[in-house]
Structure 1
Amino acid sequence: MVSITQRIKRLLGGDADDIRALDEQQTDDDTAGGARIGQLKREFAEHPSKGLTPARLYRILEEAEQGHLKAQHELFDDMEEKDSQIGADLGKRRQLAAELEWQIVPPDGANRAEKKATEQAAEVFSALEVEDLILDLGSGVGHGWANLELPWARDGAIRYIEQPILRPHSWFRLHPDDQNRITLRDHSATGDALWPLGWVQHRHRAKAGYIARMGLHRMLAWPYLFQNYALGDLAELLEIYGLPTVVGKYPRNATDKEKATLLKAVVSMGKDARGIIPEGMSVDFLEAAGKGSSADVYKTMMEWCERAKAKAILGGTLTSGTGEGTNTNALGNVHERGQMSLIRSDVRQYAGSIRRDILWPMAALNFGIERPQRAPRFYLDVGETEDLKVLAEVLPKYIDMGAQIPTWWFHEKSGIPKAQEGEEVLTKPAQPSPFGALTAAAAQRPRLAVLREDEPTRDGEEQAAQLATLEEAAAPAIEAQIDAIRTAVDEAESLEDLQARLVELAGELPLDDFAEIMGDALAAAQLAGRHDLLEEVR
């Protein structure tokens, strides 16, 4: 029997040490590397956004490209925390993905082991907070990546994961020899390599580039900085010019002491709005000229920054409340479609990381599934369905033209699930047929045959002969009625015309012979009943 260590080496390409992640977490203080890594948990953020300048921002971004990610990602955290526009729009984008319904399905043409792996994965995920998992992975939209540590547990021989834990981005750095390889920061020059099986290493391509430049926050950093400058300048303007200017006037022959007294009163009034001055002096309050137009300059700059951030995060402005208010109905629909295209891209990237780093390891360890392509697949249902009214109107036209449309496509586009075996389904209500008389007449012969089969008792041969005689006698009358109705159907030009012909035909059908035969049949039945009664008396 293949051991767990051998299975890891064969399926996941690791060595015997890779098994550590199944029994402990790499960031635990009591692990082999805990003495080097444990200091990460005792670090405090340095908040590089404090006193941020263009020169300092450029230096932070440049250091990140050289592998030192700590300052950049602490700045990104500050941006989400301090900027309500960035925090709200990114939160909306993450939440729209997290609230979607999830499902785990087997690969196409799954064998028995792959189906069992899918069932086990679905059971594991039903015990997780999947919404929290998606929100944690969503932090990669701004940062460009997210690393979640995996706690493993076991139930007998079955290995499974518990709730993944998002680790702060500031805990990591880039390997100096590989700009696309992330390591844990320690006291070494390269950092500690992440354990196989121990992490979900999500890379979110919100923009092109290698890891240090992949985050959307790098695009948002400059509007964030410019808006902070504009906001600071506006606050300073309001502080200086927001209040009326206080001017004190003194007489020509005022002494230095009187001037000092007036100045003290003016300063006190500017702060306390009250004071006293000697008689003969006056204080005037003058409104600053042009203060409104000066404030508009800063407001214009701030509004531009807000629109730039909304475009970068949501693909438009009208879904974030930063639009200019023109053509909001039409443009809002366009912007919403652009936003949904971003959400669809996000959920596909989340699903890929979950399948690669969670579903495949569980399937490989527990069921020996060697290829990642045969692992269970994780889906978030974005609910992309077509208008049912449009489908109902268009599909019949294409089918009439000869188009061969598969039923799975219809169910996918309409969002209507396919009925499983044994489930009750909706059916079309039965419509009254204009050929009811024809159907009833055609049904007479089977009913007579059933009577022959249901009465195989006493005098069976004699009764069968009687029924055959009656059926043969009634046949010409029934055929005459059927022929008359068939002629009406053939000659009718429309359903309305057919209805009128049948009404006229009702009084012309040859019923005399049929009535005579029915009378004979009833008389025969009466005589047969009397015969049976006499036989019972005897």
Structure 2
Amino acid sequence: MALRDFMGRVILGKQLMAEIATARTGTVRDPFTTDQADGMTPVRLARILRASANGDPLSYYELAENMEERDPHYLAVLATRKRSVGQLPITVKPASDATDHKKHAEYLQSWVDDGILRASLFDILDAIGKGMSIMEIDWKTTASSWTPRELIWRSPTFFDFDQHDGETVMLRDGAGRVDLEPAKFIIHRSKAKSGLTVRSGIARVAAWGWMFKNFTIKDWAIFCQNFGQPIRVGKYDSGATEAEKDVLWKAVSQIAGDCAAIIPRSMEIDFKEIGSKSASTDMFERRADWFDRQTSKLVLGQTTTTDAISGGHAVSKEHREVQEDIERSDAFDLSSTINLQLVRNMIAFRFGPQEHYPILKIGRPDEVPLEEFARAFDIFARNGLKLPARYAYDRLGAPAPTANEETIGGSPQAGSGSARQALNSLFDKSAHAKAPARDQVDVITARLEDEASGILNDQIDEIRDALNQATSLQDASRRLAKLDLREEELAKAMASAMMVSHLAGQAALLDELDDDRE
């Protein structure tokens, strides 16, 4: 079966279903790699890093794996950074509101809901340490679609870079390097610095600190062994036999550790004590902690979330913001990789190549915190701002109640309460507010009459005289135009009455709703 990917290239179905980068013992893709960390020296580390920069990254990728296995702190901060992104929300947005685009998004969302991508994020983010991670796509097919059944992590030691450009990833094979099958792999790159992928991973920068910290830990262990417990000395007489010496040696050496000796009674050994053992111990600890803090800065951008330092809540908040910036950057890079190398092919295999594709996003929504949103909306709503209830439910992360469903809460909206308060306030200022038995329409009419009567009474006589003296309609119009009538005050009175009428209508509707609830 032939398919077309998002670039229009013909892809054979059998190529998608075959496993390509599998591990095989005794081949160039041996799953049991060499431990490069054993006997590490500065000269050897420099040789490994130089070889990787010159096109032979195998030993470097093996060392990067060993560093994670041998340094708990390095492993912990890397895992923290990976898991902070791996648990972020995954959302799908259609390319537009067109029916076809919504259908594409629903198809992609259905696959995301299966959890296959979520389960693979930690392995894809292996690129943070090594600069690159490669996932082989295990495609499954039905009568009408091709979707990933699994995303399989493949060791970077199974791959190499093209010797011409230093960037194109190729598969290690018995015959040398071979091109990767299109639509079969996801290659995610995470760069701590600009440059070639093999020189941009965090492990390359962390390697020197890891090595010197390793030296410190070894020296510390030797110090503790030599000075952390008392030295036992057994003394024997000059006439002791070899058998008696063996018994004495076994006795002192089996008490604890290897710091023991036997000497004749006539001999003397002088043991020189170090001036301050505690100061020497602190030196090892401070040096190891210093390297750990540099690693925390390198991986997480800060130290507060991994080390207890002075500064209190303010410093912790600032450092957490730095970590969140890195989290957003990792999520953005990861989303771009998934969209370009997986999402587009999924849609193309199912619906054919498209001009536009749905967007998969990994990351938190760019919204203000819920508490700040609620406080701001409360202020704006009281000044006339309206929002769809659906938006508020989405921000709360709560579903809208369905019909006949038992609910809690449900107090009147802020805007409705404001309408009642405004109406009551207006009537409280009126002489008619003390007449609750009268109909509100009568109250509004009476108030309009009161406000307009004073304006009209002062002008009626002037208008009557002008009309009596006029000889024609044109003359009457000219005479009225010359009068100094207070039309603005009359317009204000009418506008006020219309506003009160509108508020009265809202209040009456609320009363009916309250009666229905009761």
Q: TM-score by structure 2 length?
A: 0.71
Q: Is 1:144 matched with 2:107? A: no
- Tell me the residue number matched to 1:227: 213
Shift of residue 25, structure 1, vs aligned partner: 2.6
Q: CA offsets, 1:353-382, max 9 Å, x none?
A: 1111111001112212334xx211112232
Q: Is 1:66 matched with 2:50? A: no
Contact between 1:76 and 1:143, CA under 8 Å: does it hold in 2? yes
Please give the residue correspondences for 1:497-536 in structure 2 after superposition, counting only pairs within 5 Å.
none
Shift of residue 204, structure 1, vs aligned partner: 1.4
Q: Is 1:130 matched with 2:117? A: yes
Mapped to 2, the partners of 1:235 and 1:418 lie a distance apart of: 55
Contact between 2:220 and 2:281, CA under 8 Å: does it hold in 1? yes
- Tell me the residue number matched to 1:346: 330
- Tell me the residue number matched to 1:98: 86
Please give the residue correspondences for 1:359-438 in structure 2 after superposition, counting only pairs within 5 Å.
359-371=343-355, 374-391=356-373, 415-416=395-396, 428=413, 430-431=416-417, 432=420, 433-434=423-424, 435=427
Distance 1:41 1:171, change over 3 A: closer
Of 32, 35, 45, 1:44 maps to: 32
- Tell me the residue number matched to 2:489: none
Contact between 1:175 and 1:182, CA under 8 Å: does it hold in 2? yes
- Tell me the residue number matched to 2:319: 335
Shift of residue 123, structure 1, vs aligned partner: 1.2
**Equivalent residue pairs, number:** 431
Q: CA offsets, 1:269-291, max 9 Å, x none?
A: 65234999988999998754332
Contact between 2:370 and 2:395, CA under 8 Å: does it hold in 1? no
- Tell me the residue number matched to 1:53: 41
Q: Is 1:313 matched with 2:276? A: no
- Tell me the residue number matched to 1:326: 310
Contact between 2:248 and 2:262, CA under 8 Å: does it hold in 1? no
Deviates more, 1:40-49 or 1:180-189: 40-49
Contact between 2:2 and 2:12, CA under 8 Å: does it hold in 1? no
Q: CA offsets, 1:460-502, max 9 Å, x none?
A: xxxxxxxxxxxxxxxxxx47x84258759999xxxxxxxxxxx
Contact between 2:302 and 2:319, CA under 8 Å: does it hold in 1? yes
Give the SS at the match of 1:26: coil
Of 192, 204, 220, 1:206 maps to: 192
Give the SS at the match of 2:36: coil
Distance 1:486 1:316, change over 3 A: farther
Distance 1:122 1:53, change over 3 A: same
Shift of residue 127, structure 1, vs aligned partner: 1.9
Partner letter of residue 179 of structure 1? G
Q: How large is the RMSD of aligned CA atoms in angstroms?
A: 4.3
Shift of residue 131, structure 1, vs aligned partner: 2.6
Q: CA offsets, 1:141-197, max 9 Å, x none?
A: 1011111111112221222221211111111111111211111111334x1111101
Q: Is 1:21 matched with 2:24? A: no
Contact between 1:248 and 1:284, CA under 8 Å: does it hold in 2? no
Mapped to 2, the partners of 1:440 and 1:347 lie a distance apart of: 65
Mapped to 2, the partners of 1:157 and 1:249 lie a distance apart of: 88
- Tell me the residue number matched to 2:494: none
Deviates more, 1:331-340 or 1:122-131: 122-131
- Tell me the residue number matched to 1:355: 339
Partner letter of residue 413 of structure 2? K
Shift of residue 104, structure 1, vs aligned partner: 1.4
Shift of residue 67, structure 1, vs aligned partner: 2.2
Unaligned segments of structure 2, at least 5 residues: 428-432, 455-518
Mapped to 1, the partners of 2:219 and 2:335 lie a distance apart of: 45
Q: TM-score by structure 1 length?
A: 0.68
Contact between 1:369 and 1:375, CA under 8 Å: does it hold in 2? no
Q: CA offsets, 1:289-308, max 9 Å, x none?
A: 33222222222211111001
Q: Is 1:176 matched with 2:152? A: no
- Tell me the residue number matched to 1:12: 7
Q: CA offsets, 1:32-55, max 9 Å, x none?
A: xx9xx9935544111101111111
- Tell me the residue number matched to 1:506: none
Shift of residue 74, structure 1, vs aligned partner: 1.3
Mapped to 2, the partners of 1:279 and 1:82 lie a distance apart of: 46
- Tell me the residue number matched to 2:279: 293
Contact between 1:216 and 1:312, CA under 8 Å: does it hold in 2? yes
Give the SS at the match of 2:150: coil
Partner letter of residue 369 of structure 1? P
Q: CA offsets, 1:2-31, max 9 Å, x none?
A: x844x34xx4253x56554323232369xx
Q: Is 1:161 matched with 2:145? A: no
Distance 1:200 1:439, change over 3 A: farther
Contact between 2:328 and 2:363, CA under 8 Å: does it hold in 1? no
- Tell me the residue number matched to 1:75: 63
Contact between 1:67 and 1:174, CA under 8 Å: does it hold in 2? yes
Contact between 2:35 and 2:66, CA under 8 Å: does it hold in 1? yes
The structure with the larger Rg is 1
Mapped to 1, the partners of 2:362 and 2:335 lie a distance apart of: 7
- Tell me the residue number matched to 1:448: none
